[in-house]
Amino acid sequence: APLPPQEHEKPPSIANGELRINGKGKKLRKPRTIYSSLQLQALNQRFQQTQYLALPERAELAAQLGLTQTQVKIWFQNKRSKYKKIMKQG
């Protein structure tokens, strides 16, 4: 018999804080995340140690800071691209 649906089912698809509505392709964006100075401090510190987080590390960091894993993931993506841009300029 098929198992009853459980808690681990994913919520409606949200990518990069964008939730697609009504097949017209209109994107409703979630408001930009404002990180506290404490969160930024921890994120920046972690980035200095490593530019890439493994999944368990990301989950742990997100839990510690009260952020979602997606927020942590995207912060690291943005930080890497900013970092590369600065490195290119020398």
Instruction: Read off the pLDDT of residues 18-74 as tens digits, 9 standing for 90 and up.
Output: 565 666 677 788 889 999 999 999 999 999 999 999 999 999 999 999 999 999 999
Name the fold adopted by 37-89: Arc Repressor Mutant, subunit A (1.10.10)
Amino acid identity, residue 8? H
Closest to 52 (Cα-Cα) out of 84, 89, 30: 84
How far, in Å, CA of 75 to CA of 61, rounded?
12
pLDDT at 15: 52
pLDDT at 25: 72
What band does 4 get if pLDDT is binned at 50, 70 and 90? low
Q: Which DSSP symbol is given to 15?
A: B
Break the chain into its structural domains and give their ranges.
37-89
pLDDT: which is higher, 90 or 83: 83
pTM, rounded to two decimals:
0.69
Amino acid identity, residue 57? E
